[in-house]
Amino acid sequence: MSAKEEALRIIRFNNKITQMLTARLFYFLFFAGMASLMPYFAMHFQHRGMTGTQVGILTGLLPFVGMITAPLWSALADTTRRHKAVLLLTTGGAALSVAAMTQAETFAGLLVTVFLFAVCLAPIIPIVDSAVLTMLGTRKTAYGRVRLLGPLGPALAGPLVANWVGRWGLNMSFYSFTFCFLLLFLLLTQLKIRVDSLSVSFSRGVRHLLGNAKFGGFLLVAFLGMVGYAAIMTYLYIRMEELGATKTLMGFALTMGTIGELPFLFLSTKLLKRFGARGTLISSLTAMSIMLVGFSLARAPWILLALQLLHGTAFSGMAISGVAYADEVAPAGMSTTAQGIFNAVYGGLALAVGAFTSSVVRDNWGSPVMFRVASASALLGLVIFLATSNRVHLISQELKPI
């Protein structure tokens, strides 16, 4: 190998390392921002004088709008090949819309700002997930390890923001999110997104995705699981407050979730190779069911902290298996669209339905009943999956570990 070839090889290697570091920092800042904001979302609306139904509409609007706009943004990025422009536009828009939310006093004002936030937030994860999987090439089972810094964001932001909220009010959670996403915007200017050429026409590729029976079955099960888990994502802090938790203790709920999530992400490559997405999803739905039943029976906040140790298996298990499978079934050049469809169901439709139904049930029958109803949804998803997916491994066993 000549000196010039060796120099080029070193440059390419260093560029790859830099891009992977950028991706890892993305997940850290993204989830730190979300952890700063989302646990206080419903609480903020309650403190602004919104009724239970209005809280349900506002919290449900975020995933509902995301369900519609995630695949639209993703399709726009894939057809125009302007993934980075879409990513920067929406990241900056998310930061500004949350900052504006702190100034909204009425239900109408909150409705507008939450809508804008939902529109901007929707495509960020699908675009970056697709870019990361493209960078990994044949080592897609290593996706979980790239996300390894993600849980550290909530672990650090949770206690800090909880302390700030206790001292200076709920607006501190919104300001913290805005700061994280402005840093994220600057970071993403350095991300290079490699886009494969379309192997088929875009319309034909969409028909292929929507007509894939295994993908459709997976989306149904993911929907049922996340409808249930939405109760925890929406009402975790409110449930802790009901049981007498302090704001500082609430912040440590995210830390406990991180403690459970880090080993799961670190071992995710081996888990996917050993059990495939089928085993990973079964463990996810089982963990969700246990958490929801536990939340309904808990009589002290420390029990909820202990249950948070299952968050990694419940939430990340479904995310990792879904992201990898969506990429596998996508035609070349349409990975972002496939991720957008998965996120529309998993992080959009399911959370919208779950947040709204949980709010209605809680208003009428209280939190314990709400969590029992939510556990029934996750259990139904588990039963359907066990009955229909026997011996089906959704992730290719030929992918190489990192």
Question: What are the tokens at 311?
Answer: 């968050």
Tell me what pLDDT residue 199 has. 62
Residue 5 lies in a domain: no
- Residues 336 and 73: their CA atoms lie apart, in Å, by 9
- Residues 99 and 116: their CA atoms lie apart, in Å, by 11
Tell me what pLDDT residue 317 has. 86
> Residue 134 is part of which domain span?
11-191+204-388
pLDDT class of 289 with cuts at 50, 70, 90: very high
Tell me what pLDDT residue 198 has. 63
Tell me what pLDDT residue 105 has. 84
Residue 269 lies in a domain: yes
Residue 398 lies in a domain: no
Residue 272 lies in a domain: yes
Q: In the chain, pLDDT over 70 holds for what percent of residues?
A: 89
Tell me what pLDDT residue 200 has. 64
Per-residue pLDDT tens for 302-327? 899 899 999 888 888 888 888 777 77
- Mean pLDDT calculated for residue range 263-273: 81
Find all residues with CB under 8 Å of 51, minimum gap 6, and list them.
none
- Pick the more confident residue, 339 or 184: 184
pLDDT class of 6 with cuts at 50, 70, 90: very low
pLDDT class of 8 with cuts at 50, 70, 90: very low
- Pick the more confident residue, 359 or 6: 359
- Mean pLDDT calculated for residue range 73-95: 90
- Pick the more confident residue, 183 or 363: 183
Does residue 205 register a pLDDT over 90?
Answer: no
User: Is 385:241 a contact under the CB 8 Å cutoff?
Assistant: no
Residue 198 lies in a domain: no
- Residues 269 and 383: their CA atoms lie apart, in Å, by 26
Tell me what pLDDT residue 25 has. 92
- Pick the more confident residue, 339 or 368: 368
Residue 402 lies in a domain: no
Residue 197 lies in a domain: no
* Amino acid present at 133: L
Per-residue pLDDT tens for 235-259? 888 888 888 888 778 877 877 888 8
pLDDT class of 10 with cuts at 50, 70, 90: very low
Total domain count, the chain:
1
Does residue 288 register a pLDDT over 80?
Answer: yes
Tell me what pLDDT residue 97 has. 95
CATH code (residue 88): 1.20.1250.20
- Pick the more confident residue, 196 or 246: 246
* Average confidence score pLDDT of the chain: 82
Q: Which of 214, 239, 231 is nearest to 378 (CA)?
A: 231
Tell me what pLDDT residue 13 has. 43
Per-residue pLDDT tens for 123-182? 998 899 888 888 877 676 777 888 888 888 887 887 888 889 888 988 999 999 999 999
Tell me what pLDDT residue 398 has. 37
Question: What are the tokens at 296?
Answer: 């309904």
pTM of the entire predicted model: 0.75
User: Is 385:285 a contact under the CB 8 Å cutoff?
Assistant: yes
Per-residue pLDDT tens for 386-400? 887 654 444 433 333
Q: Which of 115, 131, 124 is nearest to 16 (CA)?
A: 131
- Residues 290 and 325: their CA atoms lie apart, in Å, by 25
- Mean pLDDT calculated for residue range 169-198: 88
Residue 394 lies in a domain: no
- Mean pLDDT calculated for residue range 63-88: 86
Q: Which of 291, 339, 333 is nearest to 312 (CA)?
A: 291
DSSP per-residue codes, 35-63: HHHGGGHHHHHHHTT--HHHHHHHHHHHH
- Mean pLDDT calculated for residue range 261-271: 82
- Residues 347 and 341: their CA atoms lie apart, in Å, by 10
